[in-house]
Amino acid sequence: MKPSPTTVSTPLPKHTRIAGTGSLLPARRVTNADLAAELAAKGIETSDDWIVERTGIRARHFADAGTTASDLAVGAARHAIEAAGLTPGDIDLIVLATSTPDMVFPSTACIVQQKLGIVGCPAFDLQAVCSGFVYALTVADSLIRTGTARRALVIGAEVFSRILDFNDRGTCVLFGDGAGAVVLEASDTPGLLATDLHADGRHVGILCVPGTVSGGQVLGDPLLKMDGQAVFRLAVGVLEQSARAALAKAGRVDADIDWLIPHQANLRIMQGTAKKLKLPLDKLIVTVDEHGNTSAASIPLALDHAVRSGRVQRGDTLMLEGVGGGFTWGAVLLDY
C-alpha cells in the first residue's frame, strides 16, 4: 500500500508592505484664474481669492476628451511597478478604486489589466468614492494575507471633470482628474498595521451623482451634487474617530504618526483633522492646492508626491484617511 502523498502548504504571509508608488496627472493644468474666466463667460462670478479662501485650491488638472480613467491608471501603475523593481507580469491582483469608470462594464480594472498585458489574475473595481483608495488598500491587504495574491496593484483613478456641473461654482471649482497607485506585497516585516472602514447610507443625498443609464438614455441627473456644509460637518468628526480607531487597533498613539496623508478635499478639513490628532501642520501632506479634489486618486497621488519629493522615507509611520459619498470613511495606519 502506497503512503499518502505529503501536502506541502505555503505559510500565509503575516504582513503586507508598500513596495512602490506611482502617479499620473493629465497635462492640462487649470488655474483658478483660468476657471474664473470660463465661468465669467457664462455669467457666473468667482475668483482665485474666493476659491483659495474656502478650499485652499489654486489649480487642478483636467483630462482631454480622449483620455480615460484607465489611461491615467495605467500610467500611475507603470510608475509604481517600476518603483517596486518589478514588471507587470509580477502582479497577481488588481484592485481599482474609481467613481468614473471607462464603461458600465467590464470593470476599469480589467481594462487596465489588458493595457498592462497581465493575464489571469483577479481584477475588479471598488466604488467608495473619495474613500475608495482606503477601502481598496484594505481589501488588497486582506486578500494577500489569505494567500489569494502575493503582489497587488492598488489604484485610485478619476476623471471627475466629466461629471461636473460647470454652472455650479460651488462644486465645479473643487475637483480634478488624476491617478495614483501602489504595489502592495506580502512581507515578513510589518507594513500595514491597522485599518478602519465605515459607511452610513443615511447620508446618501449630501454627495452624489443621482443619475443612471436605462434604455440608452440617462435617467435622473448625471452631474455631481453636494451639500458642502453637511459634508464639512461630518468629515472632521469621522476622520478623527477613524484615525484614532486605527491607532488603537495597532497599539499606537497620535505621537507615533510621522505623516498624515488625508483625502485632499479641502484644506480646512485637513488642517482641522491634524489639529484634533495633535499633529503639527508641517506633518500634513498637502497637494490639494495643485491637484484639487481627485476623489479616489487623491491619497495615492499625495503619497507618491511625498515619496518622490523625499519627505516620506522608509520606516516612517503614515496615517492615510478618506471620506466620501455614501457616506463612506476610513483610515489606514502603516509603516512605510
Per-residue model confidence as pLDDT tens digits over 184-219: 999 999 999 999 999 999 999 999 999 999 999 999
> What are the grid coordinates assigned to 174, written together?
473643487
**What pLDDT does residue 300 have?**
98
Of the candidates 61, 263, 291, 305, the residue annotated as catalytic is 263
pTM for the model stands at 0.96
| H runs (alpha helix) in the chain | 32-40, 48-55, 69-83, 108-116, 132-145, 169-172, 228-250, 267-276, 288-291, 298-308
Fold of 15-187: Peroxisomal Thiolase; Chain A, domain 1 (3.40.47)
**What pLDDT does residue 61 have?**
98
Say which residue, 236 or 283, is predicted with more confidence. 283
The DSSP code sequence of 224-267 is: -EE-HHHHHHHHHHHHHHHHHHHHHHHT--GGG-SEEEE--S-H
Rounded to an integer, the average pLDDT of 5-13 is 70
**What pLDDT does residue 266 have?**
95
- Cell numbers 489604484 correspond to 155
Of the candidates 32, 79, 291, 293, the residue annotated as catalytic is 293
The reply to whether 79 belongs to the active site is: no
10 Å Cβ neighbour count for 273? 25
Burial of 161 (C-beta count, 10 Å sphere; 0-12/13-18/19+): buried
Q: How far apart are CA 96 and CA 86, in angstroms?
A: 19
| Parallel/antiparallel/unpaired status of strands 207-208 and 225-226 | antiparallel
The reply to whether 61 belongs to the active site is: no
Burial of 315 (C-beta count, 10 Å sphere; 0-12/13-18/19+): exposed
The reply to whether 266 belongs to the active site is: no
Q: Are 72 and 176 in contact (CB under 8 A)?
A: no
**What pLDDT does residue 3 have?**
55
Of the candidates 110, 130, 172, 208, the residue annotated as catalytic is 130
**What pLDDT does residue 236 have?**
86
Rounded to an integer, the average pLDDT of 270-293 is 97
Q: Where in the chain is the domain with CATH 3.40.47.10?
A: 15-187, 192-335
Give the CATH superfamily of 192-335.
Thiolase/Chalcone synthase (3.40.47.10)
Choose among 92, 21, 109, 25: nearest CA to 334.
Answer: 21
**What pLDDT does residue 151 have?**
98
pLDDT digits (tens, 9 = 90+) for 104-130: 999 999 999 999 999 999 999 999 999
Q: How far apart are CA 115 and CA 129, in angstroms?
A: 24
Q: What percent of the chain has a predicted confidence (pLDDT) above 90?
A: 96
Grade residue 329 by pLDDT with cuts at 50, 70 and 90.
very high
- Across 297-312, b (16+ Cβ under 10 Å) vs e yields bbbbbbbbbbbeeeeb
**What pLDDT does residue 10 have?**
74
**CB under 8 Å to 280, separation ≥6 — which residues?**
274
Amino acid sitting at position 100: T
